[in-house]
Structure 1
């Protein structure tokens, strides 16, 4: 017996169902495609950051420290003022208000922002910078801290990273260098048109034990300068500090 022909109504229903199935399938493909794009983006963003950091590092790896950034004449004269509070520790929960922007000496926590051991870092951002009171402890132990304005441009930031990389050999205690941001929450702004500040806590000479000779040292620069950093740290080495040899 021949199969009865579908009614017009049933045929229309079957056609609609077929269209819906096709639309559902296309929608499923679209969802999968969108998810794939999102997943690729999630993977690509950190991967891009890693690749760009590696590209930046490779740009500076062949350069000597004094070839990175601007020439030393973008920096002003080195200034000093009598320093105090060597060995003056305050509780870790206490914040210290420093009179200078940035500090080169003063009361501090009895912990270091960075210890000169394997895994130490030389470059910090606003998001991960140690507290001021910890960094001043590093100054007491001979570190040079390069402070940079939080609003510097990408080119200057790349130069700073290149400079910091030159001190990544933490087996040498004399490579005691930290680059860290100075923010509006930390205190007064740097002098006009100065985005960089180098600081050191000097004992008044390597091996000097007379605390009355201690000074804080500052040098402000309009741009990052590896040549200025090299000259500053040659004049004020890690051993010229109140506590150059004691453990952090």
Structure 2
């Protein structure tokens, strides 16, 4: 009887162990399954935005710059202001308070890989935009910078439009394509808001005409718009090309 009782107890123990192993195995499969699902969700989330952007940009593939955006009447008259700060390089990470919103000239950083921002990037969001002190250095090198405010940033169609515009200026070989679109966060740390009713600003640092060497003739150039106008931008960049800048032959 004692031997039988021991055998029965062992059977019960073996059954319990078997069930525990089965439960552990099922938990292991569940954990692996959950990890796979989470990984797929992460991959899907990461790939969704680039795929969505590419899909949305298709309608702009056959359009020239002048055909993108609103009519030139969406933009105000060009403004200029005597410029200063040519070759005024200050230490990186030293903040500059620019009087204008946005700046078109002024002191700026000068560090390889930081300032100016690289020419291969044409479009930035608030998440990855270079500091103002870097972008002002781009202006000194002949760039046209198109700034957009929070109203544009929150409009998916308007942002898709600006992404399409950025594609009009590919590569780093042609200096006529010195272009950057970047956000202006007036409610954060950048500065004042754009003039009432405007949400886009084109800026350029002009020497007063191609080949001009008299620093006293340098001006900052602005054109504010209620919405983006490719036709107005095209005219702006023809009137103020990269050669009309303090350091046009530097990337």
Question: Which range moves more in the overlay, 202-211 or 28-37?
Answer: 28-37
1:157 partnered with 2:162: no
How far the C-alpha of 1:136 sits from its partner, in A, is 0.8
TM-score, normalisation: structure 1: 0.85
TM-score, normalisation: structure 2: 0.84
- The structure-2 alpha-carbon separation of the partners of 1:187 and 1:11, relative to structure 1 and needing over 3 Å to count, comes to same
Equivalent residue number for residue 143 of structure 1: 143
1:182 partnered with 2:184: yes
Equivalent residue number for residue 70 of structure 1: 70
Equivalent residue number for residue 129 of structure 2: 129
Q: Secondary structure at the match of 2:180?
A: strand
How far the C-alpha of 1:137 sits from its partner, in A, is 1.1
Q: Secondary structure at the match of 1:32?
A: helix
Q: Distance in 1 between matches of 2:93 and 2:17?
A: 69
How far the C-alpha of 1:235 sits from its partner, in A, is 1.0
Q: Distance in 2 between matches of 1:226 and 1:74?
A: 10
Indicate if the aligned counterparts of 1:89 and 1:109 stay in contact, CA closer than 8 A: yes
Equivalent residue number for residue 107 of structure 1: 107
Structure 2 residues not aligned, in runs of 5+? none
How far the C-alpha of 1:12 sits from its partner, in A, is 9.2
Q: Secondary structure at the match of 2:246?
A: coil
Indicate if the aligned counterparts of 1:126 and 1:150 stay in contact, CA closer than 8 A: no
Residues 1-248 of structure 1: pairs in structure 2 closer than 5 A: 26-111=26-111, 112-116=115-119, 120-151=120-151, 152=153, 153-183=155-185, 184-245=188-249, 247-248=250-251
Corresponding residue pairs, total = 242
Indicate if the aligned counterparts of 2:57 and 2:164 stay in contact, CA closer than 8 A: yes
Q: Distance in 1 between matches of 2:90 and 2:32?
A: 57
Q: Deviations over 1:23-81 (max 9, x none)?
A: 65554444333222111101111111221232233332221111222222211111111
How far the C-alpha of 1:203 sits from its partner, in A, is 0.9
How far the C-alpha of 1:147 sits from its partner, in A, is 0.9
Indicate if the aligned counterparts of 1:66 and 1:230 stay in contact, CA closer than 8 A: yes
How far the C-alpha of 1:21 sits from its partner, in A, is 6.6
Q: Distance in 1 between matches of 2:166 and 2:122?
A: 6
Indicate if the aligned counterparts of 2:122 and 2:169 stay in contact, CA closer than 8 A: yes
How far the C-alpha of 1:166 sits from its partner, in A, is 0.5
Q: Distance in 2 between matches of 1:207 and 1:48?
A: 47
Q: Distance in 2 between matches of 1:96 and 1:24?
A: 61
Q: Secondary structure at the match of 2:89?
A: coil
Q: Distance in 1 between matches of 2:166 and 2:143?
A: 13
Structure 1 residues not aligned, in runs of 5+? none
Indicate if the aligned counterparts of 1:56 and 1:162 stay in contact, CA closer than 8 A: no
Indicate if the aligned counterparts of 2:198 and 2:227 stay in contact, CA closer than 8 A: yes
